[in-house]
Amino acid sequence: MQLILCSNKKLMKNILKTASALLIMIVLFGACSKEHKIRKNLSGTWKLTSTTDSIINAALLLGATAQYQFSDCKKKDEPCNGVYTISYNLLGFPISISANYTWIVKDDVLSITPSDSLLAPGSFHIEFIDKKKLTATDVSNASNITTLEEL
């Protein structure tokens, strides 16, 4: 009887060790895959559809459009390229201004670093509503939320 109990204890220990190792692997893989998912799903051109930023929202209400173009980025720890474009009409003439930026995803945060002063730097928590729509919440000001739709 003691041999059976001893054998069951060893079996239980092995099962617990295996389950613990599996759980740790799932957690580690899950953390890495969210950053990869953000990088993969951001690739493409996204139109700004709404924002809680009053200045940008006023420009949108006046007919301006803004787009972020994220290059296809497979580099885990290196910045990738992007282009921000704002378009509007001035006295009936269409005007479009673009600015280059770099972007990187680390610790589930998208950071944008502009190459010039047209675009402000920022860090955002990204939440995909579906494959074609996302919200970006400003890390430094959680009340600043922007919605983008993929073109």
pLDDT tens per residue across span 32-89: 568 888 988 999 999 999 999 999 999 999 999 999 999 988 778 889 999 999 999 9
* Assigned token pair, 43: 């690739």
CA 103-117-111 angle, 5° bins: 20
Average pLDDT over residues 103-127: 92
CA dist 63 and 72 (Å) reads 29
CA dist 12 and 86 (Å) reads 62
Question: Residue holding tokens 């009936």?
Answer: 92
Please report how many Cα atoms fall inside a 13 Å half-sphere around the Cα of residue 52, on the Cβ side: 9
- Residue 23 in this model has a pLDDT that exceeds 60: no
CA dist 35 and 27 (Å) reads 13
Question: What are the structural domains, with CATH classification, of the chain?
Answer: 36-150 (2.40.128.20)
**Structure pTM?**
0.75
